[in-house]
Structure 1
């Protein structure tokens, strides 16, 4: 390893060796340095950045250079391997093995023992348990380690029952059937790493539970499963239990109530077995319940329905089903409940067979004939139907019905047909409500049968309400009668409502409510568990109407469900605890390579630690090497690990993470910023949050950009408040960028956007010489423009022009010229606007290669070309307008900036409105609306919805006027007044065409009133044309003539040639209708000289037709 002078020489900075030597920094210290340390050494910025990059590279490739090195687990004392966790332990013993050894050949005995062990192991594996120890005729098995499941206790009992049956099927060579005893117990144990050198070690499990399971096995009779009474709370009513009384067991210091497990109960559903009697009123599912009940109403009327309630575990699917069932009168329908099982995913017809068994009320004492009688009493049918059902239920009906003379395929089809016919027969008597729980565990045959039932639903009064967890992608043929209702996580208000029900209306302290909301992710089951944990913790004092904290929040913030799996274990295991804590510092997700670089422990040790966290189901793994990713299973898991760290330790870990991530060229800036902020590297965090915002807005993701900028502004605010000039400059730059983000996301006209700029302007005044004053003026100008303050925006354009000329900022000068032009266009001063457009076009060539969209929030050159198109359209130069549009489209396509494209398409729609080109209008909206939705460009959304309603009116939909009015109201509420007068004129003309004359008049009045207020006069000539149309309809031709002459005068004065042509044609037609043919000819003749050939085709065609008619009349 080189010394510090040699290391510095490698990067060309050996002249700073003395600085490092005086600070007593050697090569081994380098990885622990931070950017702030380099500043304290007094290094200039350039060398500081170079050294910092070299340190980051060193960290990325280092192996063992951190001061804090985790010990290798292989060198730790044995107890450091242990995990504290809740485990269900099963002890299985072969009955009479000693006697068998005495009478059997050793080789034969070996074969019997092998079959027995393999049978037990196969069952344990089927139920996802773990065979921990083989003791000849005894076997110790775990459920809940190394992989936990949500129902490990149930799995263990079902496995125990299945082992007893499997053992019975094994016989010795002389035909004697084997028997077994099974004892099961559950509790907290310390379980070690049993996978070590290939050996399984029973001694690695410490606690009472394995001993209790073994002692209960000894209590059992042959072929019995015995459990302790203390397990009953975990079992609900899922199993049939017979008490054996209290027993004093060796090594157990208290009497144990023992129970024989005879089998599973015949409850309808898992939910009923687990939660009955413990339910609180349902919260947050009113809309979903209403939808289900609406579909139920359809089904009752003979329109069969199927509903899929989907959502993650604990989200409340079964609780929602129960709420629906509770709201339906029980005597109004037949309810059928089918429960799929994780243990029978390959058992054909399992949920149907279980339902039939439940309905028949079989008992263990029933004879075959009694069972067959019960089946026949349930369903009328042919002997073949009964024989098929008996076969489905595992009853030998051959003595009564004879052998079924069909192939297995035919029997399967007959079974399906019989089950469908039974269902339809029920539906003839009453509506049938079928509940299908846990469809994600359905067997393939039952799923096929469900498809057949679904096909029969049309015309039937049957509804299927099914629950499932994602991913469940069976489409059910995309049938029309299938409704998918996803259940999402609850918001904070509903989380609080659940808490209030659990506390019976007594309030909890606000900080505790926030903890519950933040850590439970809106999952109802988690909300209940965490709240109950807090209430039962003893850390709250219950008052008459509220609870108060009696101690630290940290005493009860972690729910009991996580104490065993995370905190209790990790508190004892420092190396693994620190791995989890570092991972929590990284975030909810982290990758294997990052952990290897941060933790700097041997890879095998890291893999072992991560594997054990996976086994505990604290995290899960996805992907394959070398791109393995880990994810904390739930926010509660990550929070518990993270919050157990002292803030100082968090800072250390975050700095280490930041150093590694900065060496990765693909690290997202928002990720770096998060760690820099948490590491208290404020200056670095500000820079990174700004970079993150720029990257987000480029995607575009304006809301995220806004969030990132606000983080940067907040970090910079304390220093800026002191008047520090550098911090003020940063604050101004950040707020200008925030305005850009807000203008795209919420609109230039929003109070928030304008307030941001006003704050920036105040800070610019304090700063004195900021180069961003022009950008601030630009933003305020645009806000004034869209709020309809056109005179003010034109004045600000002149102010911006002066700033740009003084600074030599060509891009800003281009923007100023363009804005001066478009303000005049909107005011109807088309001729006056043209020089500004021409000057802006000349400037655009000088800055065409710059990334103008990033600075201004849109590309001003594309904006210029679209407004040139609009100006040309107003001026009757429609061919040139199309040319400008093509140029704008080409540049927009090249730069690929979403907001620019949206603004361009919006202006094209306005051009289409002016040109009366509905086809073009439709084409542009077809592209624009999906783009706005996809990229969440809220600034364009309201206007686009209003404009789409106008298009619907043009296509003959009179009801769209109401939609337009609603959208316009939203625009005005948002502060948008620009564009509204023009929209109202278009709406009025289309309303008039639909025969809605009164609405058209109202719209014209409203348009003119807003024009008078804003000065947006570009559509004013068309206002007069519409008023002339109203007058003609009322047979008031003098008034019509007055309005048309006014329209011609306004258009001529402003340079709006297109309006002038249209009003002139209208006036000629008016003269024609009163017999003033010569006056009409005098009016129409100049039209042909107003525009060059190829322009205004609609208007010229109308003028030619009118002239021909007038000429014919004269002749």
Structure 2
């Protein structure tokens, strides 16, 4: 057993020097004789670190310090394992590093076993020291292989980067070790991905924290592929570290055990990109949104600085809030002025490296290259300093020492006293700033000061003292935990960046999407989950765009299916988990809260955890103090809200499936037992039933979840929350399939299907239609086997209506008659009437609607009877030219709406505008629509909203109120939900036709043409014959206005051809009127017969407004023959 140098160094916080100590055979005896010069030779360039080491060595000599006898790597693992519970398995993103000693078999064949043991111990110690320095975790030693995790048990903000840097350091450190005079070599593979990690495997010394998933296998395979002294990374890791490093792309490679080829890259070294922000982002910056005022402020301060009144601007804000983006925007705006730029970038990995950001800036300014030798660097440094025209030997000595470049001839050495030497270097750096400012105004950017080393901060303070007398704008960015010394001083401006508002969030998301519109549901999720933090908005939007449930159609993105749960973008995962891991055992309370929801109450957490009040209160206090949750209320009546939705997602995401089920079951039981009011939850309508349904669903208690889901659906339906009700019904259908077959399941399945299809907007796309047909098939089979004839008839009628299958509908009507169930007869008659009406067979349609109205009346179902009157009865009588009957139905519906105090019926009264419009009573049409449309808007009765808006706009147009017509349609199409466009309701084509008509009246022919073609395509696709008629008529009018007479004539004729197949006097008369006016210009005396026929039809319908129009047209028509 050897003395553990590595553990001793780790106790000093200097374990990153372990590889150098081991490579130079520093043991306990030699350590006592180490001098300051020896430490420099070992690579300890930091004065502070040398002093710390020398003090610790002196303590050892005096007997005040001690070594720990141990295996070289075991102490680190013991410390890392401390605090990990026995049941600590979690789902989490992990970066896995697999290291292997190259040529170990050959070593074993030529070395004595004891010598080999020492070599392996030195190798493992070197790897373990590097891993520990990068805050990683050595999970397992496998002969000459070492498996390490970055991101467990403690996540850090940049774990993937830490892993890559560790891989490079391992290769370098192991390369300094020797065996029998020959340098050792290693190779490293690194991959990142989702795993389950933390299960204890084995016993005693063989115990380890296991990991399950594809990621460790990929890391191991990449290691096998790697050449000696090389680091290979997977694309999953490369995406997270961006361009912080330079790579050699090995392209897609076939890897054993992986079905698809895997992208692999060899890390060549750190990149030359100056800014971490630029390296971690794509080449194209995201749009600057919501920060114009801050940029204008910076530009004002720049103008003041240029005038000689130097300025300091302190920009603070939480991670991802946009500090670096504003700095980049400032540089963009000043590009034309070409100021001197001094850009200093701090790094989370270099906090202990004195003057790291300063050195990095000087190396960039001197254009040092990776392979430059000492002579080349000295030449470049001299050239840099000579640019001022005031080359001073003392300054060159200071910079040469700082950059570890041997000084040239005639350059004096710096003082040996460390304090004097430090002072000379800092003074030289201040002199450089002053010299540059004398030549030209300087923009000095010091980014991420919260990661700075103390010496750089000392220099920054000195800069701050001087810039007030110089033409310098000094911008310092930092997170809230950093406390700058200049606050409140003269010529200092503080800027605290806040989060974006909803409009700004939507604008930023749209910018990331390239200006192409995103679905409303997607934008809502982005707003909900990102809390206005720009980085989160960008990364979540990118992740959604890369997903497979968004597709680009006609220049906009649409959902290709139902909205899934959102996964946390891999680029944000580490920083979110780091905040949770710092909590230690208290993280469990955060996980329980996350399972409850974005907001949770004390009493529910108490019921689930069964913790004593003092302990639970202290743990919740820790979560509040850590800034993860807000507290509302007081004492034990308090509630808590996660500060960030993504933190909640991260906490919940770590839970394994079994634990999630346990928690949700416990939460549901607590909610049932506690009763009382609940805070608003992330559910469809925020009701107790929806919340309980959610938790029982997650607990996989399907029967309870179904019961509460149906309760939530009914409540939503009664509140006219149609989208929420539809979502609940769809969830109920999924739950039904999870239950075992039974008569009760068959009954519930039937009731859900009949309920959902009566809600407007249930069919959002073809996929949902296919899902509905699937469920109808299952339910029909169950009903047939159970001998439920009436139910089977209604299911067949529903299927027939969806598929436009008249044979199936006729069979359903016959089956309903056999069953003797009156309500089934009425339901099937209504469904068949809808299909016939859609095809323009209005007389046949009205027969079935009359049957439905009669049955509902005899059954005493006044509400259902009125709905049938309002829809098919009023509509198809109007379209059949029976305007008196249509208006009679309209009056009855109005009376019943008042008598029943029913909002749905009141909304349907807006449809009374249709018979008034067909009668040419434009004012009455406006009044009917205006009176009831607000109710339709309020309850979301979209078919009514769409149709009635079309009639209202057309009536306004007839009255010469073009602006009102445009306003009505603008609102309709602005607020029309995506589901309406995708499901192509019968109403939508008519609204498009009305819009085309309004565009035509305004002389906007291009928009009119595009819109009418959209309507025509939809009408033909769905076989909406009346809409096809109207679309061709308006198309003819547009071509007439554009002077395309042949196209116009063809469109009018096509409208008349379709009218030959349907019985619709109002539309026929309108087409005859329009065509007659058109033919008047042909001098063929064919216009008069068309107009006379139109007049006869209008007179039969007593369509007064149309009669007047037609008589005016006849007065100007060709003379009678």
Deviations 1:480-505 (A, max 9, x none): xxx9995224666699xxxxxxxxxx
Q: Judge which range, 1052-1061 or 232-241, deviates more.
A: 232-241
Deviations 1:136-175 (A, max 9, x none): xx9xxxxxxxxxxxxxxxxxx999979628969999xxxx
1:519-668 alignment to 2 at 5 Å? 521=567, 523=569, 593-606=603-616, 621=629, 626-629=638-641, 638=652, 641-644=655-658, 653=666, 656-657=669-670, 659-660=672-673, 664=677, 667-668=687-688
Equivalent position of 1:102 in the other structure: none
Q: CA deviation at 1:390?
A: 13
CA distance in 2, matches of 1:1057, 1:158: 100
Equivalent position of 1:487 in the other structure: 542
Deviations 1:737-784 (A, max 9, x none): 211335455499996699689966625778865857646654554455
Structure 2 contact 919–1102 (Cα < 8 Å) conserved: yes
Q: 1:844 aligns with which of 886, 892, 897?
A: 897
Equivalent position of 1:357 in the other structure: 363
Equivalent position of 1:1057 in the other structure: 1104
Structure 2 contact 628–647 (Cα < 8 Å) conserved: yes
Equivalent position of 1:235 in the other structure: 166
Structure 1 contact 219–226 (Cα < 8 Å) conserved: no
CA distance in 2, matches of 1:871, 1:913: 16
Over 3 Å counting, the alpha-carbon distance change for 1:520 and 1:708 in structure 2 is closer
CA distance in 1, matches of 2:542, 2:848: 52
Whether 1:820 aligns to 2:873 is yes
SS of 1:628 mapped into structure 2: strand
1:377-388 alignment to 2 at 5 Å? none
Structure 2 contact 919–1104 (Cα < 8 Å) conserved: yes
Whether 1:1019 aligns to 2:1062 is no
Equivalent position of 2:1037 in the other structure: 989
SS of 1:1019 mapped into structure 2: helix
Equivalent position of 1:790 in the other structure: 842
1:1089-1100 alignment to 2 at 5 Å? none
Structure 2 contact 874–887 (Cα < 8 Å) conserved: yes
CA distance in 2, matches of 1:661, 1:899: 42
1:1017-1056 alignment to 2 at 5 Å? 1017-1037=1065-1085, 1039-1056=1086-1103
Equivalent position of 1:799 in the other structure: 851
Equivalent position of 1:706 in the other structure: 726
CA distance in 1, matches of 2:979, 2:82: 51
Q: 1:906 aligns with which of 936, 946, 950?
A: 950
Structure 2 contact 436–442 (Cα < 8 Å) conserved: no
1:264-413 alignment to 2 at 5 Å? 271-272=242-243, 276-277=247-248, 307-308=285-286, 341-342=347-348, 354=360, 357-358=363-364, 360-362=366-368, 370=379, 372-375=381-384, 413=441
Count residues in correspondence: 736
CA distance in 1, matches of 2:990, 2:7: 66
Equivalent position of 1:414 in the other structure: 442
Over 3 Å counting, the alpha-carbon distance change for 1:307 and 1:226 in structure 2 is closer
1 or 2 for the larger relative contact order (CA 8 Å, sep ≥6)?
Answer: 1
Q: CA deviation at 1:1036?
A: 0.5
Deviations 1:696-727 (A, max 9, x none): 567877565334213324545798965x4x66
Deviations 1:541-570 (A, max 9, x none): xxxxxxxxxxxxxxxxxxxx999x99xx99
Gaps of 5+ in 1: 1-87, 95-116, 124-137, 139-156, 172-179, 196-210, 254-258, 260-266, 285-304, 315-335, 418-438, 449-463, 476-482, 496-516, 530-560, 852-858, 1080-1115
Over 3 Å counting, the alpha-carbon distance change for 1:270 and 1:810 in structure 2 is closer
Q: CA deviation at 1:366?
A: 8.0
CA distance in 1, matches of 2:430, 2:696: 79
Whether 1:930 aligns to 2:974 is yes
Structure 1 contact 217–226 (Cα < 8 Å) conserved: no
1:108-507 alignment to 2 at 5 Å? 164=49, 187=77, 189=79, 191-192=81-82, 235-237=166-168, 241=172, 244-245=176-177, 271-272=242-243, 276-277=247-248, 307-308=285-286, 341-342=347-348, 354=360, 357-358=363-364, 360-362=366-368, 370=379, 372-375=381-384, 413-415=441-443, 486-489=541-544
Deviations 1:416-451 (A, max 9, x none): 69xxxxxxxxxxxxxxxxxxxxx9999999999xxx
Structure 2 contact 922–1105 (Cα < 8 Å) conserved: no
Deviations 1:226-272 (A, max 9, x none): 99996886624479956553699xxx99xxxxx9xxxxxxx999535
Over 3 Å counting, the alpha-carbon distance change for 1:246 and 1:929 in structure 2 is same
Q: Judge which range, 977-986 or 344-353, deviates more.
A: 344-353
Whether 1:1069 aligns to 2:1116 is yes
Deviations 1:941-979 (A, max 9, x none): 665556545443433333331343134313433554443
Equivalent position of 2:751 in the other structure: 733
CA distance in 1, matches of 2:621, 2:81: 15
Over 3 Å counting, the alpha-carbon distance change for 1:273 and 1:974 in structure 2 is same
CA distance in 1, matches of 2:881, 2:1088: 22
SS of 2:1014 mapped into structure 1: helix
CA distance in 1, matches of 2:724, 2:887: 39
Deviations 1:850-894 (A, max 9, x none): 24xxxxxxx233323x33333223323233333323322465477
Q: CA deviation at 1:602?
A: 1.7
Q: CA deviation at 1:656?
A: 2.7
Deviations 1:885-906 (A, max 9, x none): 3322465477676665445323
Whether 1:762 aligns to 2:793 is yes
CA distance in 2, matches of 1:166, 1:471: 47
